[in-house]
C-alpha cells in the first residue's frame, strides 16, 4: 500500500521525468532531419562540447550530494513528521538538479543536433527512476523503526 506522502513524491517524480522526456521528444521532432552522433568536438560545436555534458555531470553529482547532505542534517531525535518533510525537501532538490542538468543538455542538442547530448538526459531519467521513493527506501534513508514506520 502506498501512503499519501510516497504517492505525492511519485507523482512529482513522474512530472520531472515527463518534462525531460517531453522536451527531448519535441527537440528530436524539431531536429529530425539533421540529427547525427559525434563524440569528437568539431569547430561548430566547440562551445557546447564538452562543456554541456561536463557541467551536466557536475550538476548531477551536486544534486546527489545535496540530497545526501540534506538527509544528514536531519537529527536522530527529530520527530518522524520533521524527518519526512526533510526527506521530501531533499527529494525535490535532487530531482530539480537532475532535471536542470538534463534540460541544459537537451538545449545543447537543440542547438547542435548532435544526439550525444541526449545521453545525459537519459542518465538523469534513469537515476530518477532507480532512486524513486518507495516506503522501504524512505524507511532506510531515515533510519525509521517500527512505531514511526506506520506513519508513512
Q: 24, 118 in Cβ contact below 8 A?
A: yes
d(C-alpha 98, C-alpha 105), whole Å:
11
Residue 36 pairs in a beta bridge with: 114
16, part of any domain: yes
Mean pLDDT of 6-13: 93
Q: Which of 152, 5, 26, 4 is nearest to 92 (CA)?
A: 5
Q: 80, 96 in Cβ contact below 8 A?
A: no
Lowest mean pLDDT among 1-15, 41-55, 136-150: 41-55
46, part of any domain: no
24, part of any domain: yes
Residue 114 pairs in a beta bridge with: 36
Look up residue 64 and give its three cell numbers: 546527489
Domain that holds residue 84: 4-32+58-149
pLDDT in tens, 120-149: 999 999 999 999 999 888 888 888 777 767
48, part of any domain: no
Mean pLDDT of 22-40: 90
Mean pLDDT of 94-109: 94
Domains of the chain: total: 1
38, part of any domain: no
d(C-alpha 3, C-alpha 139), whole Å:
13
104, part of any domain: yes
45, part of any domain: no
Mean pLDDT of 61-78: 87
Amino acid at each position: 500500500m502506498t501512503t499519501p506522502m510516497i504517492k505525492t513524491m511519485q507523482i512529482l517524480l513522474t512530472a520531472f521525468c515527463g518534462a525531460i522526456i517531453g522536451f527531448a521528444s519535441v527537440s528530436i521532432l524539431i531536429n529530425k532531419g539533421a540529427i547525427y552522433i559525434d563524440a569528437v568536438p568539431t569547430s561548430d560545436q566547440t562551445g557546447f562540447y564538452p562543456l554541456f555534458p561536463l557541467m551536466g555531470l557536475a550538476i548531477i553529482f551536486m544534486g546527489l550530494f545535496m540530497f545526501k547532505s540534506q538527509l544528514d542534517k536531519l537529527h536522530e531525535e527529530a520527530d518522524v513528521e520533521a524527518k519526512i518533510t526533510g526527506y521530501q525537501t531533499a527529494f525535490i532538490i535532487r530531482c530539480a538538479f537532475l532535471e536542470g542538468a538534463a534540460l541544459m543538455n537537451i538545449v545543447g542538442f537543440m542547438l547542435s543536433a548532435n544526439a550525444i547530448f541526449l545521453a545525459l538526459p537519459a542518465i538523469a531519467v534513469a537515476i530518477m527512476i532507480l532512486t524513486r521513493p518507495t516506503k522501504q527506501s524512505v524507511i532506510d534513508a531515515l533510519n525509521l523503526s517500527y512505531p514511526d514506520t506506520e506513519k508513512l
